[in-house]
A and B are shown apart, each in its own frame.
Chain A
């Protein structure tokens, strides 16, 4: 439909409203530049930090350690184990959080009953959940999965509740007055209205849950990326430890910036016309 609109000679649009406005290129250029700058600033801070104590390895040494971890297949094995736990806990958090969020968004009673609990959840640092689950479940798969679930959940609840409240009632009445089919109303009113907050729910949950996962594996696991960084910590090998810290951060930035942020931009594109 969009194509037929654009091809139509009847519409000689004076203002480009869709697709690539000239500003987009500038945006892309500056964001690459900003990315390079932030990498550079990490390196600068690193070098400044090396001036104290003399125990911090250089970036080159750290990257070399990353190479040996790669060669020994440690990276793949531990990431595979961790991502498995991460996805399991995160999906649970999304499903349960969506149900609770919809309830809070729709019902005053559910809001009164659950909002304090949600606040506690938002305020509790992931390390609390990691320690608690380690004492609770010991060194099994439940410890990281439950920690991921608990540290992701409140963010899902809060943002989904916000999404539900964002459903525009007057547009729904408009659709009903024109007898628009239910499915069309769902896909063209509800879905775009809640998309922004729903994706925000996933983004915040991913960040928080990933932190939870690392801590849970640090304290309560014998495999996974969190455990592997602890392994180097216990061995008093700072280059190994820092190599894994770099990996965690890179992983999170990649997932967020390459996967989730573009989806969010797409879903909320209409706001920036």
Chain B
């Protein structure tokens, strides 16, 4: 069971003139087991920075992040806001690129390509795919390393409503099957309510404003009245937060 422990995390950027901007402010967050956690917040509230620090591609100014699975370091998969595929490699080669366990990667890669509905496109180059298909490859890539912890940064935000709705359903299904610890960044409250066990609201300035537990049965339909009620409630709190800012 994977375990994320973030303690007193701070991030400050210093610009060329020496001015400091605080982007994340005393973040404390513990997630354990196969919990789906969404992070919502207005744009610029530090959501991407938080995921980048958790994934290790950016460093924190202070505080600590620990990602553990059993007695070892947890393996991380990251779905970025943009697909970030190697344009000079085919889809299968892109999936191959991130594998550390070389033995049966092809089986896994194919499995997750099938799951995102693109099993037949393994030989294509990214430029031969639509934006939605590329993003799905990015999702398959993150799942194909069989991570203990999955980070997703607004993975559907560049897609049209139809595509993102179907991908959201895909994601919920895959997650129900494979059960991982997920940190999912979104600015879409509907999405957050539909997918999460817990919603963390980041305020401008990068503080955790509040944490909302979502205890609804799965799979959830956007048309489910209980989902709609919770959505309205979270939305109201979110609007209050934005108005205060």
The answer to whether A and B interact is yes
Which residues of chain A have a CB within 8 Å of any CB of chain B? 1, 4-6, 10-13, 15, 17-18, 170-171, 173-181, 184, 188-189, 192, 270-271, 273
Stretch of B19-27, B122-130, B222-230 with 4 or more beta carbons under 8 angstroms from chain A:
B122-130
Q: Is the CB–CB distance between B127 and A273 below 8 Å?
A: yes
C-alpha gap A271/B88 in the complex (Å): 7
Chain A: minimal CB distance from B41 (Å): 21
A-B pairs with beta carbons under 8 Å apart, 7 shown: A5-B92, A10-B122, A13-B120, A15-B128, A175-B97, A178-B77, A188-B86
Q: Which residues of B contact A170 (CB under 8 A)?
A: 80, 82, 84
* B112 CB to nearest A CB, Å: 14
**Tally of B interface residues using CB under 8 Å:** 34
Further 6 A-B residue pairs, CB within 8 A, beyond A4-B106, A13-B120, A270-B88: A1-B93, A6-B123, A17-B125, A18-B90, A18-B123, A171-B86
Contact of A192 among B82, B86, B124, B128 (CB under 8 A): B86
Whether B123 lies near A17 (C-beta < 8 A) is yes
Chain A residues, CB < 8 A from B1: none
A179/B96 in contact, CB under 8 A: no
Q: Which of B52, B57, B119 counts the most A-chain CB atoms under 10 A from its CB?
A: B57
User: Complex Cα distance A170/B75, Å?
Assistant: 20
Interface membership of chain B positions 198-236, coded 1 if the CB is closer than 8 angstroms to chain A and 0 otherwise: 000000000000000000000000000000000000000
Are B97's CB and A184's CB within 8 A? Answer: yes
- Return chain B residues, CB-CB under 8 Å to A273: 125, 127-128
> Contacts A171-B86, A176-B57, A188-B89: A11 and B122 contacting too (C-beta < 8 A)?
yes
Query: Using Cβ atoms and an 8 Å threshold, which residues of chain A touch B100?
Result: 179-181
- On whether A5 and B98 interact (CB within 8 A), knowing A10-B110, A173-B57, the answer reads no
Contact, CB under 8 Å: A17 / B128? yes
Contacts of B123 in A (CB 8 A): 5-6, 11, 13, 17-18
B133 is an interface residue with CB less than 8 A from chain A:
no
Are A11 and B120 in contact, CB atoms less than 8 angstroms apart?
A: yes
Q: Which of B82, B87, B119 has the most chain A CB atoms closer than 10 A to its own CB?
A: B87
Is A10 within 8 A of B87, CB to CB? Answer: no
Q: Does B63 contact A (CB under 8 A)?
A: no
- For B87, the chain A residues whose CB sits under 8 A away are 270-271
In the assembled complex, B56 has its CB within 8 A of some CB on chain A: yes
Residue interface bits B118-151, CB-to-A below 8 A is 1, else 0 = 0110111101100000000000000001000001
* B164-188 with Cβ < 8 A to chain A: none
Whether a CB of chain A sits under 8 angstroms from the CB of B192 is no
Residue of B nearest to A189 (CB): B86
B65 within 8 A of A: no
Q: How far is the CB of B17 from chain A (nearest CB, A)?
A: 16
- B78 contacts A by Cβ under 8 Å: yes
Which residues from A are CB-within-8-Å of B119? 10
B50 at interface by CB-CB < 8 Å: no
Smallest CB–CB gap between B117 and chain A, Å? 14
Q: In whole angstroms, what is the CA distance A174 to B86 when docked? A: 10
CA distance A10 to B106 in the complex (A): 12
